[in-house]
Structures are given as C-alpha cells and as structure tokens.
Structure 1
Amino acid sequence: MVDNKLNYPRFSVLMSVYKKENPSFLDEALKSVENQTVVPQQIVIVEDGKLTAGLNEVLETHKKFFEGDFTVIKSIENRGLGLSLRLGTRFVKNDWIARMDSDDIASPKRFELQLDKIVNDANLVLVGGQIDEFEGDINNITGFRSVPTSDVEIREFLKWRNPFNHPTVMIKKEVLENVGGYEGKGKLEDYFLWAKIISSGYEVSNLPEILVHMRTDAGMYSRRGDLKNLKYILNLRNYLRKLGIISITQMIAGDVIMISNVIIPSTLREKIYKRFLHKGA
C-alpha cells in the first residue's frame, strides 16, 4: 500500500446502491476499493431507497473493517443515480471525489494513477480512464470502451458521444459544486455534468490505462432502447447547442443518430456496439 501522506490530495469514493443489486457484486466492488495501492480516506455510500438484508449485511461488514471513514446515507425512496450522487456529494469531506459503481471492479492501481496525474497537472479538475467489460467472471472480457485522453480530443468527442466512462472519474468537489452538481437526468446525469464542466472552461483528461472492469449482462443493450431515454437524449442535444458546444446542424444530425439507436432492435444495437463502439476482446 502506498503511503497516503505523499503529496496526494485527500479523496473520497462516492457510490450509490439500490435494492436490486447483487450483494456479492457490491462486496467485490468495495474490496477493490479497499485493496488499492492508495486507499481513500472516506467511502460515501448512498442507499437509494430501502435495501435488502443481504446488501445491508455487506455494508455493515465493510463499515466495521474499513480503516477510514465509512459514511452511509439513507434515502427513503429510490431517486435514481443522479439525485443519489447529488445527495452523497453533501457528505464528502475531502477535496476530490472518485466515482465507483456498486457492481464494478477497480483495477488495483486505479487511484494511484489518477492521483499521479492530478499532482503533475495542477489545472486538472476531472480525470477518468478506460474500461473493459466482462460478463460473469472478470477474465471473461467481452469488450472495451475507449475514450480520448487529451482535453482537445475530449471536447470534440463530447459533441457526439459521452467522453468519459463515468465509474472511472475522479473530480474536484469544488468544481462539481461550482457547476451545479449532479442532476436527475435519467441515465444521462453524467453527460450533462461533463457538458457543464467543459463549457465552463475547466481542464479535463482521461488516462490511457484501464481503470475499471465494468460488469455487463445480456440486458444491457435492450435497456439502451428504453423509450423513456428519448426525452433526456433530445434535452441533452439541445443543451449542448445552447452551451455553444454544437451547432444546430450537429444537433439535428445527433438527434437522428440517437433516436435511431433507441428504436432499432436490441439485437442489431448489440452488434453495432460490440463491433464499432465497444470493440470486442
């Protein structure tokens, strides 16, 4: 374990959990955080509604053995990821927030790599990285989601696709609050946030290394076809236009692409993602 007293800034891990999640997956996720070469000073868990006994048992076990501050926030009702993270941000005690999903597995040097980058670039306010995707066993890699690394490339990528893998990001708390924080934006709460940060002129980056192993399942591609997503997708494209990130022509072209992605059959969507967007192993 690397000494946290190096000139690394103090940071907290922020995670949301809800009742439909698998206790064993949550346990693996938390272990991957606690076994880092550089561990956080605080873990903030938001219970997004009432949890099952199994999930509560996992949280109690980790709260008992984690050497740092293990903060659990209970939300009475399920509010969704964006609003849960907004709530959890209020209880973060440190300058930086590392996001983590409750069913993913962080690579062992994830935080060390990100903190090295932050220490060496004082202007950075947000740093993410690459992910691989697995089904069942962590060695069963089914795909990758690669995102650009430089600030310039990220700004261009933002016009058409999400430029960060949300569960990999580490973000400066002060900046997160300055731009208004997370909002309830369906499944696009992160994309809206990146647009706010980038349009405000802050410097951002992605590392080339895989920082998180993302758990996927057979239903992932069908969920992307949920018609409820259309409202948020169209709102996002219009928001990007209002911020001056894209032109009207780019907004319309993006609308057509995004709408097509929602309405096509899930089997075709899966093939497109695996072949072009999330390139297979």
Structure 2
Amino acid sequence: MTMNLNLSVLLSIYHKEKPEYFDRAMQSIWDEQSIKPNQIVLVKDGPLTQELEDAISYWKEKLKGVLDIITLEENVGLGDALNIGLQQCKYDLVARMDTDDISTSDRFKEQLAVFEKKDIDICSSWVAEFDKDESTTVSFRKVPESDEEIRHFAKKRNPLNHPAVMYRKSKVVEAGGYQKMMWFEDYYLWSKMILHGAKFYNIQEPLVHMRAGYGQLERRSGMKYALSEIEFQKKLLNMGFIDKGEFIRNVSLRFISRILPKRLVKIIYTKLRT
C-alpha cells in the first residue's frame, strides 16, 4: 500500500512571500492531505519578515517532529536553497512545493501510487492556474504523459511543472542536483536527469493550484529574462541535450516573445483569458 512509502516535502521561503499564502500552502500539504508526509523541510532563504516568522512558528509548534526548519543567514536563491534542503530530506521520495501554491487533497496519494505501479524516478502533473480565487481556474498548464513524450517535449519546453513534482532524491543527486541558472534551475535539472537515464511520468490531471496572472507573465518577459534564456539554451547545447538546429529554433522563437513591450504582453494575456 502507498501508506508504506515514506515521503519528505521540500519548500523554500524568502522575504517577499505573503504569510497568508504560506499558511494556505501548509494547510494543503498537511491539514487537507489524505496521506500526510513523514517530514516537511522548510528552508528560510535569508532574513524574513516578522509576519512570516510568526507564521512559521505556528506551524513549527503544530508539526512537532515533522517540520524541520533550515535557516540561511543570506538569500542564496532557489536552486542553492533547495540543494541545502534536499540534503536534510530523510527519505528518498521527495515532493516539491512552492509556498504560495495549493496542493489538491489527494496529490501525494496519487503520486505515491504511481511510484508503486511504475518504474519511474520523477512524477509531476498538470497544474491549474488561478488569479485570485483558487476555485476559479483560468488556465491549465498541461505537460505530456509518457517518458518518451517528455524527453521529446523537453527539447523545446520545460516538460514538468516544478511545484507539482515528486522525485527520488538519489536520482536528483546523481544528476548533480539543482545548479544556478536564473529562472531555469528546474528545467536544467530535468535535462541533466534525462541525460543520466532517469525515467519520467506526468499525471494527466492538475494536482496543484498555482497562483498566476499577468504579474507572473510580466516577470517572465524583458531583456534580462531573454538573455538568461539564451544562456540556458547554450548550456543545453554544450552538454549535448539539444543540437544546433534546435538551439537556433528555441532561441529565435523565445527571444522574440520575451522582448515584446510589456504593454503588448498585457494585451495578449488579456485576450488569451477572455
């Protein structure tokens, strides 16, 4: 039974997070889960607001023996913070969660069942995006199902939804873990895991509700983001994950979309949501 599979949950939080979002995320992975995790690892990535500290203290008291907190004196960024937290995960199966997202009540149950039935190393799912009301989905971020489809898709786009992944810690470590690659730490990791022979699967339904909206889309545009994406594509080329033709295709298509004026990005986003 899936109850026999031990599970760690890995989160990282920094000062810009809202306490009410963090509380809602924790409720979803503990209070509401049909199968509760054996351990929750929370990395405090640099100094936090007093409101966040108070929220964390509440959960520390509530989850005695379950919640392990790692405090970093300085903000090191998501990739490094997750690597540090991963070292403290007691179990090989680790579920990722962002501190502003919401897991469905059967998320862990469904993913653990897949690990029991299939020979895989990492399992993600679709996510349901919402603006303000978590019960009102504005879009789905869909990803391919099978290992073969995922490997093909990964040469063009990120094949997994990071906030919904559950993976084997041993396979992540074998691939070198998270590495610095601004905005692309997770995609970079999946690419390395594919090259190391890891086996993938995506559940074809949303197991996480993710906060979205124009603000998130805006953060993923602009020259800084575009240049970072080019550097990432160079990494994929140099390590043999994509060929020169795929590199040119990816850079050409993505660079143009990233440098569109923000006013135009907002108009396009609005049109897509209506």
TM-score by length of 2: 0.94
Aligned to 2:81: 84
Aligned to 2:116: 119
Instruction: Indicate if the aligned counterparts of 2:3 and 2:35 stay in contact, CA closer than 8 A.
Output: no
Q: What is the rounded CA distance, in whole Å, between the counterparts of 2:75 and 2:104 in structure 1?
A: 29
Q: RMSD in angstroms over aligned alpha carbons?
A: 1.8
Aligned pairs (5 A) from 1:197-212: 197-212=193-208
Q: What is the rounded CA distance, in whole Å, between the counterparts of 1:7 and 1:107 in structure 2?
A: 18
TM-score by length of 1: 0.91
Task: Give, in angstroms, the shift of residue 226 of structure 1.
Answer: 3.6
Letter in 1 for 2:63: F
Q: Secondary structure at the match of 1:144?
A: strand
Aligned to 2:34: 37
Letter in 1 for 2:46: G
Deviation string for 1:245-280 (max 9, x for gaps)? 3220110111111211210123443565677xxx75
Aligned to 1:243: 239
Q: Secondary structure at the match of 2:121?
A: strand
Gaps of 5+ in 1: none
Aligned pairs (5 A) from 1:11-90: 11-34=7-30, 35-66=32-63, 68-90=65-87
Aligned pairs (5 A) from 1:174-189: 174-189=170-185
Gaps of 5+ in 2: none
Task: Give, in angstroms, the shift of residue 68 of structure 1.
Answer: 4.6
Instruction: Indicate if the aligned counterparts of 1:105 and 1:212 stay in contact, CA closer than 8 A.
Output: yes
Deviation string for 1:67-124 (max 9, x for gaps)? 6521111111112111110111111111111000000000100000000000011x21
Tell whether 2:228 aligns with 1:255.
no
Aligned to 2:150: 154
Q: What is the rounded CA distance, in whole Å, between the counterparts of 1:205 and 1:220 in structure 2?
A: 26
Q: What is the rounded CA distance, in whole Å, between the counterparts of 2:269 and 2:125 in structure 1?
A: 19
Q: Secondary structure at the match of 2:167?
A: strand
Tell whether 2:94 aligns with 1:103.
no
Deviation string for 1:21-52 (max 9, x for gaps)? 11000000000000211111011111111111
Letter in 2 for 1:27: D
Q: What is the rounded CA distance, in whole Å, between the counterparts of 1:205 and 1:271 in structure 2?
A: 35
Q: What is the rounded CA distance, in whole Å, between the counterparts of 2:153 and 2:270 in structure 1?
A: 19
Q: What is the rounded CA distance, in whole Å, between the counterparts of 1:225 and 1:79 in structure 2?
A: 23
Q: What is the rounded CA distance, in whole Å, between the counterparts of 2:120 and 2:14 in structure 1?
A: 32
Q: Secondary structure at the match of 2:202?
A: strand
Task: Give, in angstroms, the shift of residue 53 of structure 1.
Answer: 1.0
Aligned to 2:215: 219
